[in-house]
Chain A
Amino acid sequence: MRLALAGSFVQQPHSVLNPASPQARLVDRLWDAMYVTSIVVFILVVAALLWAAFRHRDSLEQADDPAQRRPLRTVVILATGLTAIILFVFLIFDLSVGRAITTNPGNDALQIRVTGHQWWWEVQYRDSLPKDWVTTANEIHIPVGRPVVFELRSADVIHSFWPPSLSPKRDQIPGNPNSLWFRADSAGVYRGQCAEFCGYQHAKMAFLIVAEPPGEFATWLAGQRDTAATPTDASARRGKAVFLASSCVMCHAISGTPAGSRIGPDLTHLASRRTIAAGTLPNTRGNLAGWILDAQAIKPGVKMPPNRLSSADLHALLVYLETLK
């Protein structure tokens, strides 16, 4: 399953013109109306311009007498009036779409907190008991057909949360918590990307939204609540020791182990995620190895340092990380 996805992880819908939620669909409809009107306006103006220009091209006849200017005046006034009317209709349409998008999502909405970091997304599902909180990164699972409210925050600079097929964007501004909500209509994986310039790796700060039927979503959430699996075979056990003894623990957390730092993405269920490096690479063993050894070569400027590991240690570490389902 993961292999099948590996090649196409970037090709998930991420287009304004490919809406998959009522919110994105409303905006798409607004776009359609404005697009068609604009084409008509463009054609009319350019046709008028060319007609005016070629009517007496390079002619040396006497100029029109001023009496002929009277219909001209009517045309200019009519054109201005028509412009105003079109704009007014757009304004009303825009207000009604804005109103529809920002209605109250209702009481059964799922709350997800998404915090932008340079250059990845921390995703947190909060619950009444802190022990039930789920923290993951760069891959957001949501149930189909249920409103989801995103609490948008930033840990450093301004980022902007934007899954084009599902929702208009909203900035994540330090000191200014924001929120938005939408409801995915059909199951699928959707891609999103940071839209506000945020430094070196703004280009490689993507995320996936996995919309799945409520049952599957519940199963997924329950799985994410578990602490990390304790490794059983020798190689994985060695890998865990490597993890805990190296610089990994300075930034990453794996629940159920002493590693609890929150600077980088939570790795408790790393192996269940489709991508690494914020939607930059498919989560395969080879990519993971390359990322651990020299993340700077893949995402120059990223906060992850290069790691010097013996090949045996690296192999063990990879085996261990792959158990974190």
Chain B
Amino acid sequence: MPIDVGRRPSVDHESVRLRLEETWHQPPGLWGWLTSVDHKSIGKRYIVTAMVFFLLGGLEAGVIRAQLARPENTLLGPDAYNQFFTMHGMTMMFLFAVPVVTALGLYLVPLMIGARNLAFPRLNAYGYWVYLAGGLFLYISFFLNTGPDTGWFSYVPLAGPEFSPGKRVDVYAQSITFTEIAALVAAVELIVTIFKNRAPGMTLNRMPLFVWAMLVQAFMVLFAMPWIATVTQLLAMDRLVATHFFNPAEGGDALLWQHLFWFFGHPEVYIILTPALGFVSMIVTTFTRRPVYGYPAMVLSLLSIGFLSFGLWVHHMFATGLPQLGQSFFTAASMMIAIPSGIQIFCWIATIWSGRPRFSVPFLFVLGFVVLFVIGGVTGVMVASVSFDQQVHDTYFVVAHFHYVLVGGAVFPLLGAFYYWFPKVTGRMLDERLGDWNFWLLFIGANLTFFPMHQLGLEGMPRRVYTYLQGTGWGDLNLLATIGAVLIVLGMVLFLVNVVMSLRRGALAGDDPWGADTLEWATTSPPPPYNFAYIPVVEGRAPLWEQSGELPAVAGLRTDVRDVLLTTMLDAEPDSVHRHPVPTIWPLLAAIATTILFVTLIFTPWGAVIGAPLLLLSLLGWGWPQGREHHEEVMVEQQG
């Protein structure tokens, strides 16, 4: 049957659904779970895993706050404290923040663009397993008292072989490698999916802003992550096979680490932030019932944030004594990124102003986000100044700044997104009243915890100290911060209670509980394995608002095999039909082989000899030809 765009076929819809169900369903039981290539199944476990790591990282923060509540406290010694703060940073950055926003992207993007799955379903499964293995590896090491203890940016020479003997730093380097591979894999999937799998008619300038945000984020991952993967491998080589990349005594350079690390490390922050900006745009649209004001300005500011974020890394190194003139460029670039960030905020406010806001929980989180993010933003402009930064660099002022940006700028939108899309993922609404309490406890708690830290930093308290002396005058504000942390813990407990209760007894959501405008709300909640019975055809930016009644759809795709429609990159015109893979165990086996390779490499260079052939074997199995039928690609004939 030829592909026909725009007319819903007049056949028996129920039999089409049954056939699609049979073609796309995930096999039952554990085996089905292990072999799944469905972006929703994998996305869900990705999100749950990341949230578990979020809670673990939060518990570590709680222990840190308990230790610092009083001067000369003895709850933790320096050895345990250093592991705790390193684990907190690594967990939040590598195991929670990037994975969770990526996972939401992996879950939502295909639904938002009207696709049946991600472009590379098996790669998606592989990415999740590698991420899970990396997280388990890090935490098992931590419980064996081999947790990294040199901070999430592990400066050399402290992290080098001379000053950090043992395996703790190797665990640091290698667990990062796991998460970077997972992130890179996800980035490739997202870019290709967004460029090639959009529903017909969804031209680039009709894409939802969240999809734009994920596209920008994926490109940032693509350019940033290779640096950290490389630099941690250089460190691992210094430690394992006695190279001297970072050893000044042998012609290496300690500052090289910092440049390479922060060339990744600064974009990293925006890799977390950009999807959060996307969440906010979606929530603002839905809860004000207005399309976001200034769509082109929003897209351009996302792009320029992504671009500029690669020109800021030196502002982490203002105290290293680099030349003044060179540093000034980075001051200018760091301040410049406030302009696109400001445009985002101004456009949201304009949208809210012209709309009719509904104060549901997701919208509350957006309001809280703007308040916290503006505080984090203005302190960000302050630390962009070289001489001021040289005062507050590596103090609690900076700790306050980046927690406002990351908690306010990323966690709040994330929780808003959680309340917003929970009905779509589970079919049930989260409780609004618990949600209100959840929001206010977190909002007050976050301010109580992090605001006093500005003052602590100005009063001379360095970060990463396991204790401070009586008489420094830092006791009271630290106690206040710890009290705030208790409120945050209470807020998160309420959140968990809400999730558990709503999963069982929450109100049924229906397809589109919020009256939203994007395609993911056009299908059932939770969506079927094939996402849409008919691939929709899009004629504007807000398909569900512009179209009354049923969406126009694509006809003629086979339903007895996993066929998906590929469209052209700019205009999303039907291009070809691509056959998707069926569930397979090979991605899991490849991830296990990768794990064996990475873990053995910590102990001996022979790890490469053991692990590489295993990995190669699993990839051979993965790519083993399955007949011509399987790889068939059909060019679509244009029909008017």
- Residue positions of A touching B, CB distance < 8 A: 7-11, 14-17, 24, 26-27, 30-31, 34, 38, 41-42, 45-46, 48-49, 51-53, 55-61, 63-64, 68-69, 72-73, 75-76, 79-80, 83-84, 87, 90-91, 93-95, 97-99, 101-102, 118, 156-158, 160, 162, 164, 168-171, 173-176, 178-179, 191, 193-204, 206, 280, 300-301
Contact = CB atoms under 8 A, between A and B. Distances in A.
B260 to A, nearest CB: 15
A56 B357 contact: yes
Contacts of B16: none
Interface in B439-476: 457-460, 462-473
B515 interface: no
A127 B62 CA distance: 51
Given A15-B459, A197-B151, A169 B391 contact: yes
A199 B159 CA distance: 9
Interface of B: 77-79, 82, 150-151, 155, 157-158, 163, 248-249, 253-255, 289-290, 293-294, 297, 319-321, 324, 327-328, 331-332, 335-336, 338-339, 342-343, 345-347, 349-350, 352-359, 367, 370-371, 374-375, 378-379, 381-382, 384-388, 390-395, 457-460, 462-473
A15 B346 contact: no
Nearest to B351: A52
Contacts of A80: 339, 342-343, 346
Contacts of B370: 45-46, 49
Contacts of A30: 385, 387-388
A175 B253 contact: yes
- 3 smallest CB-CB distances across A and B, nearest first, come from A175-B248, A168-B390, A10-B471
Nearest to B257: A158
- In the complex, which of the residues B336, B342, B375, B466 has the most CB atoms of chain A within 10 Å of its own CB atom? B342
A87 B336 contact: yes
Contact of B320 (A60, A173, A199): A173
Contacts of A72: 293, 350, 353-354
A170 B321 contact: yes
A59 B290 CA distance: 13
Contacts of B465: 202-203
A174 B395 CA distance: 22
A90 B324 CA distance: 16
A203 B253 CA distance: 26
15 contacts: A7-B471, A14-B460, A49-B370, A63-B289, A76-B293, A80-B339, A87-B381, A93-B385, A94-B328, A97-B388, A170-B321, A171-B320, A175-B248, A195-B319, A201-B78
Contacts of A27: 387-388, 390-391
B379 A38 contact: yes
B82 A200 contact: yes
A26 B21 CA distance: 70
Contact of A90 (B77, B335, B459): B335
A75 B350 contact: yes
A162 to B, nearest CB: 7
A38 B343 contact: no
A169 B460 contact: no
B78 A52 contact: no
A94 B352 contact: no
Nearest to A77: B346
Given A63-B355, A72-B350, A157-B163, A94 B331 contact: yes
Contacts of B391: 16, 24, 27, 31, 164, 168-169
B473 A178 contact: no
Nearest to B461: A193
Given A56-B357, A79-B346, A168-B391, A34 B469 contact: no
B394 A195 contact: yes
A195 B386 contact: no
A16 B459 contact: yes
A122 to B, nearest CB: 18
